[in-house]
Chains A and B, each alone.
Chain A
Amino acid sequence: MTLFDLALKNMRRNMKSYALYFGSVLFSIVIYFTFVTLKYSDDISALADSSMKVQGIMSASSVVLLIFVAMFIIYANSFFIKKRKKEVGLYSLLGVRKKQIGLLLFFENIVLGILSLVIGIVLGFLLSKGLLTILVRLMGLDAVASFTLSSEAVINTTIVFMIVFLFTSLQGYRVIYQFKLIELFQADKKGENLPRAKWFATIAGVASLTFGYWLASQDLMTSVMWKILGISTPIVIIIATVAGTYLLFHSVLVFVLTKLKNNERWAWRGLNLLGVSQILYRIRGNAKTLTTIAVLSATTITSGGAVYGLYYNAGEQTHHYLPNTFMWEGKEVNLTSKDVLYNETVHAKQAELELAGTTYRYTFVDVDTYNKLAQLQEREQLAVQNGEAIMLDPYYDERFSINHTGQKLAVGDVAVKVKNLHAESIFNADVIGQTIIVSASDYQALAAEHNTYQLVGMDNDKKQVASSDKLQQQLGDVYLSSFPASYKSSIEGLGSLLFVGSFLGLVFLVATGSIIYFKIMTEAEEDRGKYEILHKVGVGHKEMKKTIRMQIGFIFAAPLVMGILHSAFALSAFSGLIGANILVPVIIWMVVYMAIYAVIGYLAHKQFSHTLQWRAIK
């Protein structure tokens, strides 16, 4: 029997702690491989017209994923090695050279690595097929995903993870070489100091967070801060928020908890004192982890919410700019489809106007034409007297557009006064932009060129891609403004964005969960003794469970609350930026996130209680 055999045996019997590490590595490989497979997939490139866009998004995301996955494995590995310090110490004590221990761990790491790589690629292959189907569905394409193993993806994944394993092995070596034998015997004696609240850090934390939030809620166009900071504003916001979060966990919470602990009425009841002390005792050490979790959560919720919001609003946004299913300039085409709701011919005049020193090109339409179309499009009717005008501007944004209400316009002999402005049009914005409605007689008097436009409305307009293609063929070179075509291309882009967003979101979520899980398992290991003592001095089960819930609940809830708060501010800024209401999709997304998060929390709680081995100390 050699040391090697014993090490192998030890590995087999220690499966439980290995399983956690192995699982993390496997998870990372499956995710990465799946993603890379999708990236290299011919199905996607062949099907989507917007494949360049999709490829771009995929490539950028795979880099983000790679960095993340590598960090995650390195974190899991350092946790794993820490857990095995006792074993390493014992080997060293019995006279194994550090070089040999290092070799042993290196070998182990590589074996684990190859094993997880093989299994991970197989699982990832299966998963990618399923995900490809979802992606194709989301992008609104009619196609069946094929079932091929991409050799590029296999090579890419293998190389990337071999480098990661090499790095973790070196990390193991470093730990071994820094390890001092005496640590093995002093590990338990090392005490932590109870943190004291620091005034300065507390104030700085609150101030930094408030500043970050305030800056985020500033308007892009009007804010003085944006003018001063320019393009670096988002970076300043992120730095302020992350720093604020850290200081909050580091000091503000310590401050609050200390106050709570000193409140004798509350603290000296049952195990409250213990619960608060447990949290307080570790909070400084945990500040970094809690901040990481909070920032990860915020990133996930924000990016997911933003993308999902865009996807959710895609139809509405397109409708805003393209109120007619089809519109083109020129002759009428006879459409036979039974979905056709209206097929109108409209005349309009174009004229150039000078307003406040700038020349604009406007389209004039008479009020009767407007009202006819408004009725077809289910809009309210308008009344315009001679000498009056109403402006229609679908691009209008109160932040940076000029409101011409009250302005006097003169084209040749006709002079009108703008009495109102509507931020929506009856025409497709890519054919006719800003429109001015004038009375019938004013329109007649207008000396300007005169154009003919065709407007078609169809039922079920999102699905009229075939009609659109046919129509374009009939029209030849004439530019066709088509709602179904625009909708399709925006959904294709957004669909892949949504897919990538949710995919990365899920990865972040699971990884966040695992980080918390690792943390809690370490604490369970450390707290076992404490809870045994409590049991011995006669504390009941129920009370202990309550304290455990408090301890775990805190580690879970604190970063989640911060993450949601961060993302709420970020998303409200985003919503303002795109000028759309994304409240519903964002809330759906947040609820989904919290639900998954809660499941992880529940599992961690269960495992924590299990580690404390209730049965054993019952």
Chain B
Amino acid sequence: MKPVLQVENITKAYGKGANIYKALNGVSFEVHKGEFVGVMGPSGAGKSTLLNVIATIDSATTGSIIIDDTNIANMKDEQLADFRRDNLGFIFQDYNLLDSLTVRENIVLPLAIAKRPAAEINERVERIAELFGIADLLDKYPYQISGGQKQRTASSRALVTEPKLLFADEPTGALDSKSATDLLENLSELNAKQQSTILMVTHDAYAASFCQRILFIQDGQLSKEIFRGEETRKQFFQTILQELTVIGGDANDVI
């Protein structure tokens, strides 16, 4: 089967001449449809840069990124906008909701942009809100709801278009453990049921334990890859913790 995402030898360099700094230095990997992949690594290893580059938010210095047969490295601004609209979803640590729109309107936004008919929009919004357990909050404003609820709103917004790929950058970073667990359970349920493909950057071993595969990144390069396989979530959590201790003194990061 063809992978949904193919990352080939990408680099991202900052600065010039002798002062050049490579945030990413030759990263290659593949993600197949229906996978829930985590990216881990110590602070400053290049996790977020990697995500931004793949997610078309930033551009790579060299290398190619192929999402579903399309090489996004060669795309123009306009094409990228269309591509994002039709294929990608985003969740961020700080939600990025529009404060002036209600929860419902925030979720509607990407569908409105894609010019879907109103009946379809309504149905999709109700369904996704039900799934994330925010159906009762649809007419509230972002400042009236909790952080966990905001993040579930953001996730609904990201997934309501049924994107080929969902990018999540530390989605649980600002959440308490209960909200984080709820969100992660929702995401993995979606992943299991609807075959959504998710790429999540995190430094939290607990969040990562919901993934099926973890990529470890260090100094801009992939250092290791582990699979959950048949392990339970708890066992996988232990595996990840061990792995983090092996990788280096950065186990502090997970606490």
* Interface pair A10/B52, CB less than 8 Å apart: no
A-contact bits for B112-128, CB 8 A (1 contact / 0 none) = 11110010010000000
Given the known inter-chain contacts A1-B118, A182-B58, please indicate yes or no for A93 contacting B98, CB distance below 8 A: no
For the complex, is A67 an interface residue (Cβ under 8 Å from B)?
no
User: With an 8 A cutoff between CB atoms, is A383 at the interface?
Assistant: no
- The yes or no answer to B241 lying at the interface (CB within 8 A) is no
- Tell me which residues across on chain A come within 8 A of B52, comparing CB atoms: 182, 185
Most chain A beta carbons < 10 A, residue from B52, B86, B100: B100
User: For residues 41 through 86 of chain B, which have their beta carbon under 8 Å from a beta carbon of chain A?
Assistant: 52, 56-58, 77-78, 81-86
In whole angstroms, how far apart are the Cα atoms of A2 and B115 in the complex? 7
> B219 at interface (Cβ–Cβ under 8 A)?
no
> Chain A residue with minimal CB distance to B82?
A95
Residues of B within 8 A of A92 (CB): 81
What are the residues of chain B within 8 A of A9 when measuring CB–CB? 100-101, 105
User: Once the chains are docked, how many angstroms separate the CA of A5 from the CA of B104?
Assistant: 13
CB–CB A96/B113 < 8 A: yes
A5 touches B84 (CB 8 A): no
A90 at the interface (CB under 8 A from B): yes
Which A residues are in CB contact (< 8 Å) with B101?
Answer: 6, 9-10, 13
* B81 engages A96 (CB within 8 Å): yes
Contact with A along B94-105 (1 / 0, CB 8 A): 001010110001
Q: Is B108 an interface residue (CB 8 A)?
A: yes
Q: Which residue of B lies closest to A4 (CB)?
A: B112
Interface residues of A in 72-101 (CB under 8 A from B): 86-87, 90-99
Distance in angstroms between the alpha carbons of A13 and B85 in the assembled complex: 25
Which B11-66 residues have C-beta < 8 A from chain A? Answer: 52, 56-58
Scoring A5, A90, A99 by chain B CB atoms within 10 A of each residue's CB, the highest score goes to A90
A194 within 8 A of B: no
Q: Nearest CB to that of A14 among chain B residues?
A: B100
Q: How far is the CA of A9 from the CA of B90 in the complex (A)?
A: 23
Q: Indicate which residue in A10, A14, A95 contacts B83 across the interface (CB closer than 8 Å).
A: A95
| With known contacts A1-B108, A1-B118, A95–B100 Cβ distance under 8 A | no
Q: Which residues of B contact A91 (CB under 8 A)?
A: 113
- Could you say which residues of chain A place their CB within 8 Å of the CB of B109? 3, 6, 94
Q: Does A588 contact B (CB under 8 A)?
A: no
B171: Cβ under 8 A from any A Cβ: no
User: A95 — which chain B residues lie within 8 A by C-beta?
Assistant: 81-86, 88, 110, 113-114
Of B85, B96, B105, the contact of A96 (CB 8 Å cutoff): B85
- Shortest CB distance A548–B (Å): 24
Interface of A (DSSP majority class): helix
Is the Cβ of A90 less than 8 Å from the Cβ of B57?
A: no
- Give the residue name and chain of the B residue nearest to A7 (CB): B112
Task: Give min CB distance, A103 to chain B, whole Å.
Answer: 13
Separation of A547 and B1 alpha carbons in the complex (Å): 64
Q: Does A181 contact B (CB under 8 A)?
A: yes
Q: Quick one: which of B130-159 are within 8 Å of A by CB?
A: none
Partner of A99 from the list B58, B78, B113 (CB cut-off 8 Å) is B78
Chain A residues, CB < 8 A from B105: 1, 6, 9
Q: How far is the CA of A90 from the CA of B99 in the complex (A)?
A: 12
Check A93 against B57 for contact (C-beta < 8 Å): yes
Partner of A98, one of B57, B81, B84, B100: B81
Measured between C-beta atoms, what is the minimum distance from B125 to chain A in Å?
Answer: 10
Q: Which of A5, A14, A99, A181 contacts B112 (CB 8 A)?
A: A5
Q: How far is the CA of A14 from the CA of B101 in the complex (A)?
A: 9
Query: Are the CB atoms of B112 and A98 closer together than 8 Å?
Result: no
- Residues of A within 8 Å of B96, CB to CB, are 86, 90, 93, 184
Whether A94 and B57, one on each chain, are in contact in the complex, defined by CB atoms closer than 8 angstroms, is no
Contacts of A98 in B (CB 8 A): 77-78, 81
Known A95-B84, A97-B81; contact A90-B112, beta-carbon cutoff 8 A:
no
Bound: A14/B105 CA distance, A: 14
Please give 18 more A-B residue pairs, beta carbons under 8 A apart, in addition to A93-B84, A95-B82, A181-B58. Answer: A1-B112, A1-B118, A1-B121, A2-B112, A3-B109, A6-B112, A10-B98, A10-B101, A86-B96, A93-B96, A94-B84, A94-B113, A95-B85, A95-B114, A96-B113, A182-B58, A184-B57, A185-B52
Chain B residues packing against A (C-beta within 8 Å): 52, 56-58, 77-78, 81-86, 88, 90, 92, 96, 98, 100-101, 105, 108-110, 112-115, 118, 121
**Chain A interface residues (CB < 8 Å from chain B):** 1-3, 5-6, 9-10, 13-14, 86-87, 90-99, 181-182, 184-185
Chosen A-B contacts, 17 in total, with CB atoms closer than 8 Å, are A2-B112, A3-B112, A3-B113, A3-B115, A6-B108, A9-B100, A13-B100, A14-B100, A93-B57, A93-B96, A94-B85, A95-B81, A95-B88, A99-B78, A181-B57, A182-B58, A185-B92
The 7 closest A-B pairs by CB, nearest first: A95-B85, A13-B100, A95-B84, A97-B81, A182-B58, A3-B112, A181-B57
